Amino acid sequence: MLSFARNGRRVIDIHNHILPGVDDGAKSMAEALEMARIAERDGIQVIVTTPHHFPAEGGPFVQQARTRVTELQANARAQGLSLVFETGQENMAGPDVPQHLQEGGAVPLAGTRYLLVEPPFTSYPPYVEEMVFQLQLRGYAPILAHPERCASIQADQEIVQRLVERGILMQVNTGSLLGHYGVESEKAARALLERNLVHVLATDAHNPEGVRVPVISEGVKAAAGIVGEERAWEMVTTAPEAVLRGRAVPVLEPSPRSVGRRGRLFGLF
């Protein structure tokens, strides 16, 4: 459970596979509601549902997403939960993402121009950068999901710095800071934090048990040990709140050594 002073700020998880029956996350509404209870106990107030994809049921995916989120919201409310759910999607960073957006086959976060994109776990093909820049040209703001889990980025964090300098935001998994994805992901997550190259922390939760549960507090505490309590807190409150409102997320100047220097604001909004 989060114990920091919230100062009225909402705790928001922008990467979560709680939407039931659509990907490798929650298998049923019962599992989704169990995840919701865990999240609420931990202090999370808003979850942006970000499944990998939706099954083809006809109609634009964005409409399917809204329908399913409405269903989840109603069930959670009936269980006495006060969590708020928003629509979203975790898009595989393929060259066709801009086209999917145009055709309604990709869902931005909470109806904004922010889009969660997932790089490959092993390599970092050149089309990733081309794709995110194409998204920017179309007025979208890509957020790279768990860059610390990509082997190429673990070996070369300059990739991330280059992207951040061009206005791409980085979302690190709370579980990475706790070693849930192995030593290399943990080292990369910590190094990216030290270099001011992380903007949002999120759970990337998949299940109601095991290490991929929707618990954000432990990761925030781990981050606080690196960047300080306030900055860690911002990454699960102020920054994701700006995302939900379609506003610019405050971005610190990337630093090779020290942390905490205030930088300029990047953003498209």
Residues at the site binding Fe ion, with contacts judged by CB under 5 A? 90, 204
Please state the closest distance from residue 208 (CB atom) to Fe ion, in A: 16
**Between 119 and 254, whose beta carbon lies closer to Fe ion?**
119
Q: Which residue is nearest to Fe ion (CB)?
A: 204
**Between 90 and 186, whose beta carbon lies closer to Fe ion?**
90
| C-beta separation of 49 from 87 below 8 A | yes
- Integer CA distances (angstroms), 102 to 99, 105, 222, 229, in order: 5, 8, 39, 40
| C-beta separation of 105 from 92 below 8 A | no
**Between 94 and 250, whose beta carbon lies closer to Fe ion?**
94
Please state the closest distance from residue 195 (CB atom) to Fe ion, in A: 23
Distance CA 107, CA 89 (A): 5
Please state the closest distance from residue 236 (CB atom) to Fe ion, in A: 16
Please state the closest distance from residue 4 (CB atom) to Fe ion, in A: 25
Size (the chain), residues: 269
**Between 34 and 118, whose beta carbon lies closer to Fe ion?**
118
- Integer CA distances (angstroms), 170 to 62, 138, 202, 251, in order: 23, 19, 11, 10
Please state the closest distance from residue 105 (CB atom) to Fe ion, in A: 18
**Between 14 and 220, whose beta carbon lies closer to Fe ion?**
14
Alpha helices by DSSP H, the chain: 29-42, 61-78, 97-102, 127-137, 151-155, 158-165, 174-177, 183-194, 217-227, 229-234, 238-244
